Structure 1
Amino acid sequence: MRRIIAAGAALLTAGSLSLGWTIARRLTAPVGPRNFDLTIRDVEVDGDRRLLVLDRTRETAARGVYNLWFETGDWVRVSDEVLDRGSDQIARVVTDMANDFRASACDRFSWSGIYFANPADAGLSATDVSIDTGAGVAPAWLIEGEENCSTWAIHIHGLGSSRAGTLRGAQVATELGYTSVIVSYRNDGEGLRLDTGRSTLGLTESEDAEAAVAYAIQNGAERIVLFGWSMGAAIALRVASRARERGVFAGLVLDSPVLNWIDVIKANCARSGLPAAAGNLATPWLTFGPFARMVGLPSAIPLPEFDWVQRAEELTVPMLILHGARDDSAPISVSKALRARRPDLVQLESFGAGHTLAWNSDPARWRSTVSAWLAKHLVS
C-alpha cells in the first residue's frame, strides 16, 4: 500500500511539474502569427450599408467599435451596432476598410481591439526613429507635439500585441500637444529578437522602455507621461520606479494593467478551462533560475517585484487606470485593490469591456477621461 501511495504521489508530482512547465512556456512563448479563428458567414447589403454576418461570441456581440483583421493583411472596421441574426449569429455594420477591401462569405479573420493599422491610419504624422537600447536598436514611431510643449508621452504595448494598439492613446496625447514615442521592445515581433525570443514579462523589456525615456530626455522632454497597456503597464511601473530621474514622470495612464503577475496567470488559467490554482504551478518555473532556463528564459523573473498592490507605498507618480469590468485576463479586482491602498495617487475608471477594450467600448468616454485627467495633473 505504501508503495502504491508513493507511486501515486510521484505521478501527481510529475504531472504538476509538467503542467507548471507548460503554463510557463505558453505564457512566455515567442510571438507567433495572428490566429484567424473566425469566419464571415454571410454578407448583407442594406441600401448603402454593408453588414457582415458572424457567429455570435462574447467578443463579436460586444458593444463598441472593433477591427477585423484578415489573412490577406486587409482589415475592416465595424460600428457599435449589433444586430441579431438568430440565436447563434449577429451582424455588424462595416464603417471602413483597407484599400476598398470587400470581405466575402467564408473569409477567415481575427477579431481585435487594435483599431488603427499605423499612425497615418489614426490621423497622426509619424517619423520612424531608432532607439539605442544597449542590446541593439529598437524601432519606434515619433509623433511631434506642439513646438513649445516640453511634455512627452511614451506608449508601451502589451504582451502579444503591437505598437499599433497604443495609437488609441497616442491620439489623445497628440491632441494635448505632447510629443509621443511609440516604442517596440525586445521579442515583441517588431523590436529586437534576443535569446530564445521569449518574453520575460516586463523584466528585460523595461530596459528598452528606459532607453526610450533617455531618448526623450536627450531630445528636450522635461515631463513624461507613460501610457501602458496590459503588460506595458507593468513595464511602465517598473520604469517609473527604477529611473534615476524620477521627477521627470508626471503621470501614468494604464489600460487593463498587469499589477500582479500571479493573479493574471491564475485568471488566464481559469479562462483556459483550468483551475485558477493551476497558475501556482507555473511560479517555480518562472522564479527559480534553473527551472526558468529549462523553460527557455535567460534568467529567473522576480514576480514579487511586479506586485504593485504589495508595493503600493512605494508609488510616487499619479496614476489613471482604465479597466474593463469584464476583463478575464487582468482582473479589475487588482486595480480596485491598488486604488484602495493608494486613493491619493490612483484614479480608477471602469468600463463595460474586456481586456484592453475599454477604448473600443466607449472611445469618446475613454478619450475625455484621459484628457481631463492629464489636464488636471499636468497643469503647466
Structure 2
Amino acid sequence: MMGSRRAGAAGASPAAATAIKTTIAALAGALGLSLAMLGTVSMRVARKVVTPAGRVPDTRLLAVDVAAQTVTLSRTDDTQLPGRYGLFTTGTAAYLKLGAVLSLDAASVKRKLLTEISVDDRLSAEAAFSGWYYTTPEELHLPFRAELVGSPLGPCPAWFFPAETAADEPSDTWVIQVHGRGTTRAEALRAVPVFHAAGISSLLVSYRNDGEAPRSRSGTYMLGATEWRDVDAAIGAARRRGAQRVFIMGWSMGGAIALQLALGSAHRDLIAGIILESPAIDWRVVLDHQAQLLRIPGPVATTAVRALDSGWGSRLVGLSTPIPFDTLDVVARAAELRHPILILHSDDDGFVPADASYELAEARPDLVELEVFQVARHTKLWNYDPDRWTRVIRDWVDRQRAGADS
C-alpha cells in the first residue's frame, strides 16, 4: 500500500506522463514562436524609427475646381485646420499652396487654392498635407545664397539669408535653423522673415542622412545623438565669419538636436538662446505616444525601444551604435542647461505630445518659457496663427538681446 501511494504521488501513468510532456513541448514551442514573432515585429518597428523615409501621403485629393481655384480633400485633423498650408502631390503641379477652409462636411474639406493651376494640370489623388508653405528660398523675396558647411562627414548644403543692422552693417547675430525628422531645411523657411526683420541673419542647415547632407555609414537617424555635430560645425562657421551670438531654432527632431548642442557644443559660449518648435525633448515619451496612435502592442513598442538602446538590438536594426535615450532625455538633464529656452508647442500636436515640454518648463522655470497653443498641429503653429507665433518669437529674442547688451 505504501509503495502504491508513493507511485501515485510521484507521477501519472506512462501514457499520461507522455501526454503531459507533449503538451509542455507544444506550449514551449508556441511560446518560442510568440517570442520570435514579438522580436521580429519589434525589430521592424525599431528599424522604422531610425530609417529616413520619404513623404507619406496622408490625405486624398477628391476634387479640383479650376474656375473657382479650390481643392477638396479628405477630411483629417490636419486638412481641416484654419490657416495657410501646402499640399504635396505628383503630376504637373507637385506642390500647391492652400488657403482658408471654405466648407467642410463629415468626409471632406474644401479649401481655397493659392497656387494657380489650369485645366491642363494633372494631379494625383494621393497627397500629403504640409506646414511648409514655402518650398524654395526664392519665394521669400529676400537676399540669400546657397552655401556648403563643412561637417565631420563632409559638406552639408545650407541657405544663408544675410541681415543688416540699423547702421547698414552685416549683422553679428545669427540664427541657425534645424529641421525635423523626415524633412529638409525648407521646413524652416517660414521662420526667416521674423528674424530678418529683427536684423538677424539666418542659416538654414542640413545634417547627415536627411537626403541633402552626406550619408553616414549606417544611413540611419540617431534622433539627435550624432546629428548635432553637423550643426555644431555650422556654429563654428558662423563664428569664423564674425557672429558674436547665435540663436538655435529646432523643429521637432531639430529640437532634440538643438538641445544636444546646448549641452555639448564646443561653441556653447556663442549660443544666445534656444527656440524650440514642437520639439522632441524626451524620445521615450514620443515613441510611446506614436505606438499608441498606431495601435502597436505595448510589449512590441517596449522591446523596440530597448533594442535601439542596446548593443545587440542596434546591430540588428543597422545602427553603428545604440541610441542613448538617457542622454537625449533633456528633462532628466535639465540641471545641466545654461541657455534661455523658448518652447512653442500645441496641446493638440498629434505627433509629439507636449508633456515633456511642460516638464522641462517646470524643471527649469528660470530658463524655460513655454508658449502653449491650442488646435494647431505638429510644426504648424505658424500656419495656424502666424501673428501670435511671430510676436512671441520677436518679443523673446528682443528680451534676450536686451539682457545680453545691458
36, 44, 47: which one aligns with 1:22: 44
Q: Which residue of 2 aligns with 1:357?
A: 380
Query: Would you say 1:255 and 2:277 are equivalent positions?
Result: yes
The answer for the alignment partner of 1:144 in structure 2 is 162
How far the C-alpha of 1:173 sits from its partner, in A, is 1.5
2:392 is the alignment partner of 1:369: yes
Residue 58 of structure 1 aligns with an amino acid whose one-letter code is D
* 1:79 matched to 2:99: yes
Q: Distance in 2 between matches of 1:100 and 1:235?
A: 42
SS at match of 2:232: helix
> CA separation in 1, counterparts of 2:242 and 2:266?
17
The reply to whether residue 330 of structure 1 matches residue 352 of structure 2 is yes
Aligned to 1:203: 225
* Aligned mates of 1:288, 1:142 — CA distance in 2: 39
Does the 8 Å CA contact 1:31/1:188 hold for their aligned counterparts? no
Determine the C-alpha separation between the residues in 2 that align with 1:347 and 1:41: 42
1:220 aligns with 2:238: no
Residue number in structure 2 paired with 1:182: 204
* Matched-pair contact (CA < 8 Å) for 2:277–2:343: yes
In 1, Cα distance between equivalents of 2:102 and 2:355: 29
Structure 1, gaps ≥5 residues long: none
For residues 119-169 of structure 1, what are the alpha-carbon distances to aligned partners after superposition, in whole Å with 9 as ceiling and x for unaligned? 111233221111111221111111111125311100000010111001112
Out of 327, 335, 340, the residue aligned to residue 305 of structure 1 is 327
**Structure 1 residues 44 and 30: CA distance shift in structure 2, 3 A:** closer
1:245 counterpart residue number: 267
Counterpart of 2:14? none
Please say which of residues 333-342 and 281-290 is displaced more in the overlay.
281-290
Contact 1:159 1:232 in 2 (8 A): yes
Residue 369 of structure 2, aligned match among 323, 333, 347: 347
Given that 1:42 and 1:104 are in contact with CA atoms closer than 8 Å, whether structure 2 keeps it comes out as no
One-letter amino acid of the structure 2 residue matched with residue 340 of structure 1? E
Aligned equivalents of 2:314, 2:60: Cα separation in 1? 38
1:109 and 2:127 are equivalent in the alignment:
yes
Residues 345-369 of structure 1: CA distance to partner in whole angstroms, max 9, x if unpaired?
1111122212111111111111111
Which of 42, 56, 65 is matched with 2:75 structurally?
A: 56
Between Structure 1 and Structure 2, how many residues are aligned?
375
The question of whether the paired residues in 1 share the 8 Å contact of 2:131 and 2:380 is answered with: yes
Q: Counterparts of 1:141 and 1:148 in 2: how far apart (Å)? A: 16
Which of 138, 141, 145 is residue 123 of structure 1 equivalent to? 141
Q: TM-score, normalised by structure 2?
A: 0.87
Q: Would the alpha carbon gap of residues 285 and 220 (structure 1) be closer, same or farther in structure 2, given more than 3 Å must change? A: same
Give the aligned residue type for 1:87.
A
Structure 2: 5+ residue stretches without partners = 1-22
CA contact (8 A) 1:155 1:166 kept: yes
Change (3 A) 1:167 1:276: farther
Whose Rg is larger? 2
Alpha-carbon distance, 1:101 to partner: 9.1
Does 2:177 align with 1:167?
A: no
Sort the Cα spacing of 1:324 and 1:288 in 2 relative to 1 into closer, same or farther, 3 A.
same
C-alpha distance in structure 1 between counterparts of 2:100 and 2:341, whole Å: 29
Equivalent residue, structure 1, for 2:85: 66
Instruction: Tell me the amino acid that sits aligned with residue 367 of structure 1.
Output: T
1:82: Cα distance to partner? 4.0
Aligned in 2, Cα 1:185/1:373: closer, same or farther, shift over 3 Å? same
C-alpha distance in 2, partners of 1:108/1:87? 19
Alpha-carbon contact 1:131-1:140 (below 8 Å) kept: yes
User: Structure 1, residues 324-352: CA drift from partner, whole Å, max 9, x if none?
Assistant: 21123211111111111111111111222
**% identical aligned pairs:** 33
Query: 1:158 corresponds to which residue?
Result: 180
Provide the residue aligned with 1:42 in structure 2: 63
C-alpha spacing 1:22/1:217, structure 2 compared with 1 (3 Å): same
2: CA distance, partners of 1:189 / 1:100: 31
Per the alignment, in what secondary structure is the counterpart of residue 114 of structure 2? Answer: strand
Are the aligned partners of 1:31 and 1:187 in contact in 2 as well (CA < 8 Å)?
no
Given the superposition, is the C-alpha separation of residues 56 and 216 from structure 1 closer, same or farther in structure 2, using an over 3 Å criterion? Answer: same
Residue 242 and residue 100 in structure 1: after superposition, are their counterparts in 2 closer, same or farther (change >3 A)? Answer: farther
Does residue 89 in structure 1 map to residue 105 in structure 2?
no
When residues 238 and 105 of structure 1 are mapped into structure 2, their CA distance, relative to the original with a 3 A threshold, is: closer
User: Does structure 1 conserve the Cα–Cα contact (< 8 Å) formed by 2:84 and 2:384?
Assistant: yes
CA RMSD of aligned residues (A): 2.1
> Which residue identity lines up with residue 325 of structure 1 in the other structure?
D
Q: Could you tell me the TM-score, scaled by structure 1's length? A: 0.92
Please tell me whether the aligned partners of residues 262 and 280 of structure 1 are also in contact (alpha carbons under 8 angstroms).
no
CA contact (8 A) 1:19 1:281 kept: no
Deviation at 1:36, TM superposition (A): 3.9
How far apart in 2 are the matches of 1:281 and 1:23?
A: 9
Give the conservation status (yes or no) of the 8 Å contact 2:346–2:378: yes
